[in-house]
Structure 1
Amino acid sequence: MPESPYTDAMEFSEHIKTGNVEDVVLRRPFHQPTKGTLCVTGHHLIFSDRDGHNSQPFLLLIRNIDAIDKSVENLLGYSKLFSSTGPSQRFDISVTPCVPSASSGTITLKCKDLCVLQLDIPGMEECLNIASSIESLSSLETASEMYPFFHRPAGLVLQDKWGLSSTEQDYAGMKELHDRWRLSYVNRDFSVCPSYPPAVIVPHSIDDETLLKVAKFRQGGRFPVLCYHHEKNGMVIMRSSQPLTGTNKKRCKEDELLLQAVIDGSDLGYIIDTRSPQQAQQARMTGGGFESKSNYSGWKRLNRQLERGKVLQESLIKLVEACGDSSHNVDRWLSKLENSKWLSHVQAALAAAGLLAECVERDGHSVLIHGTEGTDTTLLVSSLAQLILDPGSRTLAGFLSLLEREWVQAGHPFQQRCAHSAYSHTRLRHEAPVFVLLLDCVWQLGRQFPLAMGFSEPLLLRLAKEVYASDYGTFLCNSDQERCATGLKERTHCLFQSLLRPSERDLYSNPLFEPTELAIWPCVQPQSLQLWKGLFLRWTDDALHLKEAQEAIQNLVVECRRTLYDYIENIEDRELK
């Protein structure tokens, strides 16, 4: 039986001041205002339609809530309720003389999937209690307290294998590499690199003792490891973090030896640094740095600056603000869109990925890519380059395996980067929408090559929502080490496995998919890039009509294909008879 959202309320009772309120009015996009009962559980808000127009209650995962705005009337006698309010929360409070029996309040919930909901609650005390409960429950930070540890979907059991593949399985499928590359378990207990998986693929001639020394020379222990092998010419893509050369220009002969082993027998390799030359130079002042020409003579360094961290998060905030502009002034909207610089980030990411793919496919050279930590823009560019080069990564299963390998296993700190989305009032800490930027870039690829991708836009939209708030454990924690420590793989279900179930495949597959063995080279000119309306304008009326049209087209194509398959089967049956 699937876990009921009501069953977790007792465990979180200390956070819930008011559990049920009657006569609440829910206002949400694409629906008429509805009156009913609101229930607060440990992980969900559950709204039941009083008139019974909707047979299923409306469920909202509390972790999906990014910000809460409160507006209450008749605060006389209730001022003490605000004494414990924290400075990080913002309140929109209007005071209107009225009798207590007519008191009411409104809570506006701004969600991480960019949806905005409104709850009109009779009774100010109930309103404030509900808001306080939501604030407390939405700020839980311990992974094991989150809903994936309680979710038990029908058709899946915890004993199922967690994930789609492993480093060992990936290596087993690269038989042509086995003479020059090997599996290393130097990080089996995560002591060498906390953000790497237990097994990695490294040059055969480099032993584990050498890897230990290289790890100390790379930030966070992220020494160069193989992430992609190009079957056409045998070249590889590796990724790492920055070298710790510092102001004294320290050397690590073991690091130089490892990189030389990668290009052994070749004349040149490329290092793509996702920082500007100035940023790389400045990194030396704090102990970081870059590979010098004199010590890495077989490698040529290329810089392609990609923004990260606070800059990227603020860009998302400005973009969402522009998309929510209700002034209907086109010039103002376009100005806000340009000032957000979001499409500039999309352009830069695709251009860097195109450069990497060009080095491998057209120039025939192996590439090492890194930025500072190697957990953000490094993964962004390596993933996009593989989509450009590798036909297998463009299937539904291949794309999900790519995300698992290059993001989940490779140590992207999901829980830190996706703690908040575009509406939060809290001060930025580690948030950055790098994964959302990846999904946007993939959408741009799919728009430019509509037949080349085996998956459709609904999959990307689903992933954009799941990465911030999910029923599944795939995007929880910041590394494999944390997942092992919390028992996540034994106690939660895997999103990617769920998406590949037959019932889900039809929803997320591209019915027009025509596989090609050719690389797909994106155009990155500004006029070739568009705002991803399906994500950033998904709660507008225009988006609703577009979604309905897309579903109708997909159903039509699926039906046509089924008819064609039935026709072919009938012909074959006749021939056999």
Structure 2
Amino acid sequence: MEKTRVAKVEDVTLARRGEQVVGTLHLTPHHIIFSHIPPQPVSTQAQGAVVRPRELWITYPIISFCTYRPTPAVSRQPSSIRLRCRDFTFVCFYFTAESRARDVYESIKSWTCKIGRVDRLYAFSFQPPTPERELDGWGLYDVRKELARQGVGRDGCGWRISQINSDYGFSPTYPALFAVPNNISDNTINYAGKYRSRARIPVLTYLHPVNNCSITRSSQPLVGFRGNRSIQDEKLLAAIFATTRSERPLANFTPPNLESESSSSTQGEPPCSQTLSEITDAEELEDKLLASVEEPEDRPHIYGAQQHNLIVDARPTVNALAMQAVGLGSENMDNYKFATKAYLGIDNIHVMRNSLNMVVDALKDSDLTPLGPNRDQLTKSGWLKHISGILEGASLIARQVALQHSHVLIHCSDGWDRTSQLSALSQICLDPYYRTMEGFMVLVEKDWLSFGHMFRQRAGHLNSEKWFQIENERIGGDSGRGSSETSGAGKALENAFLSAKGFFNRENTSRDSLGETDAETGEYESDNPGSKKFSPTPRTVVAEKEITNPKETSPVFHQFLDATYQMLYQYPTRFEFNERFLRRLLYHLYSCQYGTFVFNSEKERVNMKAKERTRSVWDYFIARKEQFLNPKYDPNIDDNQRGKERLVFPQIDEVRWWSQAFGRTDVEMNGGHLTGAFQASSLEESGTERAPVVTGVQTANQSLDVGVTGNQTPLPTNRLSVVTSGISSLSFSTGKEKTRGIKQVGVEMQ
């Protein structure tokens, strides 16, 4: 690594929120440190009291944008460096000498962009303070212990722990241990893995302790335009949805020629097409499989007619359809007649990144001026719309499990962005344990760390030279900025095709490592519409060095914390931790001080010996637990007393700006006395649509799609209850819609 050009600069002026102080700037291998002596009252000076300097510490990975402005030739304005940080700290440094300013700029750029490898991040050299040294946050989460807490292993639960991935050979991005139905063998799992992107098959993440219904998660299936299918995948999902029945009809049912299938199949070919070609009577096999799942009329129903198992595709319908053109897609419900599928319409990482960029644009001048943010720009960003859509999707999942006594499978594309958001948030709604500090830590470990999330790419830990510029001329540019203002079907289709990264004109083995392509981004090779060819955006690697691809960054985990804050604000007595806990967790997502968020998968943490070489972020919180406790917390649960029920559901009309996370006051972001409902209605006034809870409901016999067909049926006012009943009866009432510009839902019969 290159050495710094300058380590210390005196007489540097720091501008922040319109105020300026003079101090000393220090550049260390991992931090920018600005220290200054605060002005003291005359009385304090007379007493001769020792004044401790104040310090501002900025870690290099937390820098999201850096601009160097040399002294203009015709001006006496000093040279300056402006920093925008991912924790929404905005500062400007002024220098008395231009040469010193340039040296500082080049040093910051060098330390930030030329880290090159994850093991050069601060986490690998950080030495914890005394309170943390005796702690071991890495031992907080134990998969067997957590599954046992949920009920896996007890008599009649219907689940077992599989070790097929103990060496991470089955799916490098999945945990070593995961739970599957008792009656599904590892051989079936092995074949089912060939049908899901990166072998991320449907596995258990949450088991409801009362009704034994489950939340499972996976990646998208490899359906493709040829309509590929996998009997093993169908059998696995049918078994999952049958785990609540007193008798398990799939326990002794094995499709012929599947368990003993020859291992000579070509890995590059769609496995299901080969499987079906070897079955002499596929129609008879399908009839047997489906008949084994259907309940006979004279058989008692444990949960009556309430149970309506659901497959949740988090993506907009158009995105899922576009993925079929590149060999992926969404389940053909003709093959999953025992379930209903709902598309939630949650936008992909590019839309979310653009939305946050617009929020940043509304705040970016806060280093130079004390003025509040641009409220119009905040509204146009659509940030609250996206948070509302995520929360509403999580609420739907939680209601299906708790109130409809049903099973839910969640997936998006690769199953580690929107899937993690929905899975974790729905469990917060369902289980009071995850609303405690320990439980929330376990939830993050389970649904984000163990099941894999591209923390390094999404958070931009290894940075990029594209985020450094001189004289306001962006080096390389960021094509994502500003594009969020573009709307319409063309933009939706473009984002859908961007979601197909790495799978066009390339053999999809379904077991790629998480560090390669992520099926979320991509770009066209030519601007000529007649010769456009979609190609994967490769992982940017030079020898052993790695840098961030700006198109892979996105505030996915930030949105999860924001959505959690919304529920904490709405239910202040139901959470053991406070808002500061969430804010500090957001900061440490980017600080790279701890090893928790610098890896993309459980396998990476094992291979890099993270537990031995780095500290867990939970050490920080456990050592200071009293700072993060909520004094209003009431741990008592009583479903018969209002306000103490086990379940909590987010109030979508009360979604508001998480002002402190953005470094602003509540008055600046939310208008003080104005409520979250005003924020929702302001979307209406600005012409910004709120995201519907679903953009389509599909079964083997009927599908409801938004903006796909010409037939339009208005969505009634009480959307969530209607969606639930719509999933049950597969029909929507046609009452007059009058609220919040909700997208209409068209009805199309297959």
Instruction: State whether residues 214 and 252 of structure 1, in contact with CA within 8 Å, keep that contact through their aligned partners in structure 2.
Output: yes
1:378 corresponds to: 419
CA deviation string 1:268-289 (max 9, x = no partner): 4210110123222221111112
User: How has the CA–CA distance of structure 1 residues 108 and 324 changed in structure 2, closer, same or farther, with 3 Å as cutoff?
Assistant: closer
Distance of 1:541 and 1:124 partners within structure 2: 39
Task: Give 1:160 deviation, angstroms.
Answer: 3.6
Unaligned regions of 5+ residues in structure 1, if any? 1-11, 74-93, 547-577
**Cα distance in 2 between the residues matched to 1:467 and 1:349:** 20
Task: Report which stretch shifted further, 265-274 or 455-464.
Answer: 265-274
Q: Pick from 525, 528, 533: which aligns with 2:659?
A: 533
Structure 1 residues 318 and 56 mapped into 2: Cα distance closer, same or farther (>3 Å)?
A: closer
The residue number in structure 2 matching 1:354 is 395
Q: CA deviation at 1:464?
A: 1.4
Q: Which residue of 1 aligns with 2:73?
A: 95
Q: Which range moves more in the overlay, 428-437 or 56-65?
A: 56-65
Q: Which residue of 2 aligns with 1:131?
A: 105
SS of the equivalent of 1:460 reads: helix
Q: Secondary structure at the match of 1:286?
A: coil
Q: 1:39 aligns with which of 20, 26, 31?
A: 26
**Is residue 171 from structure 1 mapped to residue 291 from structure 2 by the alignment?**
no
Matches within 5 A, 1:71-86: 71-73=69-71
The reply to whether residue 19 of structure 1 matches residue 16 of structure 2 is no
Q: 1:400 aligns with which of 441, 444, 464?
A: 441
**Paired residue for 2:343?**
303
Q: How far apart are 1:170 and its partner, in Å?
A: 1.4
User: What's the secondary structure of 1:368's corresponding residue?
Assistant: strand
Partner of 1:505: 625
Q: Alpha-carbon deviation of 1:185?
A: 1.6
Identity of aligned residues (%): 30
Structure 1 residue 25 displacement after superposition: 2.5
| 1:147 corresponds to which of 101, 122, 130 | 122
**Aligned equivalent of 2:174, options 177, 190, 196:** 196
**Equivalent in the alignment of 1:186:** 164
Asked if 1:54 is matched to 2:52, the reply is yes
Residue in 2 aligned with 1:444? 566
CA contact (8 A) 2:315 2:343 kept: yes
Q: What letter matches 1:17 in structure 2?
A: R
The amino acid across from 2:361 in the alignment is E
Equivalent position of 2:610 in the other structure: 488
Please tell me whether residue 520 in structure 1 is matched to residue 654 in structure 2.
no
**Alignment-derived partner of residue 162 in structure 1:** 138
1:317-347 Cα offsets, whole Å, 9 max, x none, are 10122244679999x9343222101010011
Give 1:129 shift: 1.2
- The within-5 A match list for 1:228-377 is 228-264=206-242, 266=245, 268-324=308-364, 333-377=374-418
Q: Kindly tell me: are residues 530 and 193 of structure 1, through their superposed partners in 2, closer, same or farther at Cα, counting changes over 3 Å?
A: same
Structure having greater relative contact order (Cα 8 Å, sep ≥ 6) = 2
| Structure 1 residues 497 and 97: CA distance shift in structure 2, 3 A | closer
Structure 2 residue runs of 5 or longer lacking an equivalent are: 39-49, 246-294, 296-307, 468-473, 479-549, 638-644, 673-750
Q: Which residue of 2 aligns with 1:549?
A: none
Offset at 1:405? 0.8
In 1, the alpha carbon distance for the partners of 2:230 and 2:171 equals: 17
Contact 1:308 1:434 in 2 (8 A): no
Rounded Cα–Cα distance in structure 1 between residues aligned with 2:136 and 2:360: 39
Deviation at 1:520, TM superposition (A): 0.7
User: Deviation at 1:32?
Assistant: 5.0
Q: Structure 1 residues 349 and 171 mapped into 2: Cα distance closer, same or farther (>3 Å)?
A: same
**3-state SS of the aligned residue for 1:468?**
helix
RMSD: 2.7
Deviation at 1:238, TM superposition (A): 0.2
Q: Which deviates further from its counterpart, 477-486 or 318-327? A: 318-327
- The alpha carbon displacement at 1:163 in A equals 4.2
Whole-Å separation in 2 of the counterparts to 1:130 and 1:457: 35
Give the whole-Å Cα distance in 2 for the aligned partners of 1:26 and 1:541: 25
Structure-2 separation of matches of 1:532 and 1:311? 19
When normalised by structure 1's length, the TM-score is 0.81
- TM-score, length-scaled by structure 2: 0.63
Kindly provide the CA deviation profile for residues 14-54 of structure 1, in whole angstroms up to 9, marking residues without a partner as x: 24112222222233459750223x22111012334379843
> Which residue, out of 477, 491, 502, partners 2:599?
477
Separation in 1 of the partners of 2:78 and 2:604? Answer: 44
What secondary structure is seen at the aligned counterpart in 1 of 2:32?
Answer: strand
Following superposition, the deviation at residue 357 of structure 1 comes to 0.6
Are residues 30 and 482 of structure 1, via their aligned partners in 2, closer, same or farther at CA, if it must alter by over 3 Å?
farther
Letter in 2 for 1:154: P
Instruction: Find the residue that maps to 2:594 and give its secondary structure.
Output: coil
8 Å Cα contact 2:314/2:419 also seen in 1: yes
